[in-house]
Amino acid sequence: MKRLHCCVLVPTYNNAGTLQKVLDNILRLTSEIIVVNDGATDGTANILKNYKQIHQIRLPENKGKGNALKVGFKKALDLGYEYAITIDSDGQHFPEDIPVFLKTLEKSESKNILLIGARNMDQSDVPGKSSFGNKFSNFWFWFETGKRLKDTQCGFRLYPLKEIEKLSLRTPKFEFEIEVIVKASWNGTLVENVPVKISYDEDERVSHFRTVPDFARISVLNTWFVIVALFYIKPRNFFRKIRKKGFKKFLIEDVLHHNDSPKKKALSIALGVFIGVSPFWGFQTLLVLFLAVFLKLNKAIAFAFSNVSIPPFIPFIVYGSVQLGMLLTGEQLSFSMDNPKLDFEVLKHLKTYVIGSFALAAIAAALFGFIGYVTLMAKRKMAIDNG
């Protein structure tokens, strides 16, 4: 702790039942502790009288966890600390996990890193609303930053204080813990998870999270962050990448993903062809891009091959779909390439067309994907043989 200039920061509000146990367990590891009494009205003040060896801040009234953390960060910086590990005082965290944060910080190449404890949200004593709230938060953090995390709500964290000081942090309550990680990520701080244990002992744990108002505040914050991400952060990052790499390198690495494996590229080809041939007219571009992102495939390749349904090819695709549909359903339509309109005969037998269309899409996707995979593997082998 001393070598890394790190302290433990404990914000507390009306957790007199668990505070002493939390502090005693932390003291077994370090005395570098700051406690922020956030206007507690229970026996917190009396408990803290027995801990003269730790730094204490008493706020006259409760203004929220976010405000208490900001006050604690400022105090830590004033005392010369560079990092602060925050731990809740309700007993849900295990102080013996503190070394996990320190070891991860030491091993990290970048010291501009913010670590968040990743809880096992599948364990039996985790409340359903906590598990749902975490998944909800994880999704929006990914959407706003492009970074996937297992846990974005855990209060057991390591903060790089000098980097956090640069941020304009405005929220005072529980939503602060979302605001700080999103803004830190936008500002270039590496945000990562580390595994930690968790306890949800309902007999002793007191949570001050108010489901409706606090969830509403978090939702409003995420709505604002989505707007900022779409209209400022993502375009800013896009142009920064182009400027840093140069247009040609950016195109090869970030758009075409030149280094993707043959399997991934072949699956992207298959996805594009499947969507292009399927009867999703008008929605093919949106659908193929959504599925490429969801399935973690090559978006550029999938989009390119979805254009198999460009206007000159449409009559052939429709004709092939109808013929295959008739074969599969046993229905007979008076349809030929000489009279593709049929006086709307196809519309009268839409089921036949749809079944044939999906069947043709599956066959074409498998064929194009297989050819693409074989071709790409052969190309890779030639490249290896040529050194």
**Judgement on whether residues 202 and 279 belong to the same structural domain of the protein:** no
Mean of pLDDT values over 324-333? 82
Q: Select the more confidently predicted residue: 197 or 384.
A: 197
Check which CATH number belongs to the domain holding 226 and give it. Answer: 3.90.550.10
**Judgement on whether residues 210 and 281 belong to the same structural domain of the protein:** no
Arithmetic mean of pLDDT over the chain: 87
Q: Is 39 left (phi over 0), alpha (psi -120 to 50) or beta?
A: left
pLDDT digits (tens, 9 = 90+) for 195-205: 999 887 665 56
Residue 65 has what pLDDT?
A: 95
Q: What angle do CA 153, 158, 163 make, to 5 degrees?
A: 105
Helix (H, G, I), strand (E, B) or coil at 10: strand
pLDDT digits (tens, 9 = 90+) for 20-75: 999 999 999 999 999 999 999 999 999 999 999 999 999 999 999 999 999 999 99
Mean of pLDDT values over 84-111? 96
Instruction: Give dist(CA 266, CA 262) in Å, integer.
Output: 6
Q: At 58, phi and psi to the nearest 5? A: -115, 115
The domain boundary, picked from 200, 216, 232, lies at 232
Residue 29 lies in a domain: yes
* Domain count along the chain: 2
Q: Residue 189's CB: how many other CB atoms inside 10 A?
A: 21
Instruction: Give dist(CA 297, CA 257) in Å, integer.
Output: 10
Segment among 14-28, 162-176, 202-216 with least mean pLDDT? 202-216
**Judgement on whether residues 277 and 195 belong to the same structural domain of the protein:** no
E strands, 182-248, in order: 190-195
Residue 125 has what pLDDT?
A: 58
Residue 222 has what pLDDT?
A: 93
Residue 1 lies in a domain: no
Residue 127 has what pLDDT?
A: 60
| Percent of the chain whose pLDDT exceeds 70 | 87
pLDDT at 331 over 60: yes
**Judgement on whether residues 198 and 312 belong to the same structural domain of the protein:** no
Q: Residue 335's CB: how many other CB atoms inside 10 A?
A: 21
**Judgement on whether residues 214 and 278 belong to the same structural domain of the protein:** no
Instruction: Give dist(CA 291, CA 125) in Å, integer.
Output: 35
The answer to whether 172 and 63 are in contact (CB under 8 A) is yes
**Looking at this protein, which amino acid is placed at residue 312?**
P
Q: What angle do CA 15, 83, 54 make, to 5 degrees?
A: 45
Q: Select the more confidently predicted residue: 244 or 257.
A: 244
Tokens linked to 1: 């702790």
The domain boundary, picked from 200, 232, 264, lies at 232
Instruction: Give dist(CA 230, CA 365) in Å, integer.
Output: 33
Domain that holds residue 192: 6-232
Residue 294 has what pLDDT?
A: 87
